[in-house]
Structure 1
Amino acid sequence: MSGSRPYIYAEGAPGSVLEDTVAVSNPTAGAVRITLRGSGARITFAAASVRVPARTRAEVPFALTVPAGASPGERTGAIVAEGGGRTARVGVHLRVSGPALAALTVEHVRIVAGDRITYEVVNRGNTTLTPRLAVTADGVLGTVLDRKARTLPVRLPPGRRAALSEPWRDAPALDAVDVRVTVTAGGGARDTATASARFVPRGPLGGGLAALAAAGWAAHRLVRRRRGRPSTGDPRSAS
Structure 2
Amino acid sequence: MRTRSSTRSRTRTSLYGLLLGLLALCAGLLPAGPATAADNGTWGVFPTPAAGAAMTDRAYFFHQGAAGTTLTDSVTVLNSSDRELTFQVFATDAVNTPAGGAFALLPVETKPKDVGAWIALDPEAAGTVTVPAKGRKDIPFTVKVPADATPGDHVGGIVALGTAVEGVQQDGKVQVGVKRSVGARLYFRVPGPVTPGLSVEDVRVSRSAPLLPWVKDARATVRYALVNRGNLVVEPKVAISAQGLFGRRVLDRPGRELKLTLLPGQRIELTEPWPDAPQSDWVTVRITAGAAAHPDLVSRSETDFVAVPWPAVGLLLVLAGAGVTVWVLRRRRRAESEQDESVLDLAGRR
TM range (shorter): 0.5 to 0.7
- Indicate conservation of the 8 Å contact 2:155/2:185, yes or no: no
2:190 equivalent to 1:96: yes
State how far apart, in whole Å, the 2-side matches of 1:206 and 1:79 are.
57
- Indicate conservation of the 8 Å contact 2:288/2:301, yes or no: yes
Counterpart for residue 113 of structure 1: 207
- Indicate conservation of the 8 Å contact 1:136/1:180, yes or no: yes
Specify the code of the residue in structure 1 equivalent to 2:302. Answer: T
SS of the aligned residue for 1:203 comes to: helix
TM-score by length of 1: 0.59
State how far apart, in whole Å, the 1-side matches of 2:318 and 2:301 are.
30
2:185 equivalent to 1:133: no
2:143 equivalent to 1:64: yes
Kindly provide the CA deviation profile for residues 14-33 of structure 1, in whole angstroms up to 9, marking residues without a partner as x: x31315588xxxxxxxxxxx
- Indicate conservation of the 8 Å contact 1:125/1:159, yes or no: yes
1:17 to 69, 72, 84: 69
State how far apart, in whole Å, the 2-side matches of 1:208 and 1:48 are.
76
2:259 to 124, 149, 153: 153
- Indicate conservation of the 8 Å contact 2:153/2:264, yes or no: no
Seen in structure 2, the aligned counterparts of structure 1 residues 206 and 143 have a Cα distance that, compared at 3 Å, is farther
State how far apart, in whole Å, the 2-side matches of 1:2 and 1:140 are.
60
Q: Tell me which of the two structures has the higher relative contact order, counting C-alpha pairs closer than 8 angstroms and 6 or more residues apart.
A: 2
Count of aligned pairs: 178
Indicate the RMSD between aligned Cα atoms, in angstroms: 3.9
- Indicate conservation of the 8 Å contact 1:17/1:63, yes or no: no
Seen in structure 2, the aligned counterparts of structure 1 residues 12 and 175 have a Cα distance that, compared at 3 Å, is same
Shift of 1:128: 1.4
Seen in structure 2, the aligned counterparts of structure 1 residues 120 and 211 have a Cα distance that, compared at 3 Å, is farther
Seen in structure 2, the aligned counterparts of structure 1 residues 173 and 66 have a Cα distance that, compared at 3 Å, is same
Kindly provide the CA deviation profile for residues 58-83 of structure 1, in whole angstroms up to 9, marking residues without a partner as x: xxx97532132344236455599xxx
SS of the aligned residue for 2:240 comes to: strand
State how far apart, in whole Å, the 2-side matches of 1:211 and 1:125 are.
57
Shift of 1:198: 0.5
Kindly provide the CA deviation profile for residues 124-162 of structure 1, in whole angstroms up to 9, marking residues without a partner as x: 111111111111111114121111111113221111111
Counterpart for residue 316 of structure 2: 208
Which runs of no fewer than 5 residues in structure 1 stay unpaired? 23-36, 50-60, 81-89, 213-239
Kindly provide the CA deviation profile for residues 183-211 of structure 1, in whole angstroms up to 9, marking residues without a partner as x: 11132321111101011113345553899
1:174 to 280, 295, 310: 280
Seen in structure 2, the aligned counterparts of structure 1 residues 125 and 93 have a Cα distance that, compared at 3 Å, is closer
Counterpart for residue 222 of structure 1: none
Specify the code of the residue in structure 2 equivalent to 1:121. Answer: L
SS of the aligned residue for 2:316 comes to: helix
Richer in strand (by share): 1
Richer in helix (by share): 2
State how far apart, in whole Å, the 1-side matches of 2:73 and 2:153 are.
23
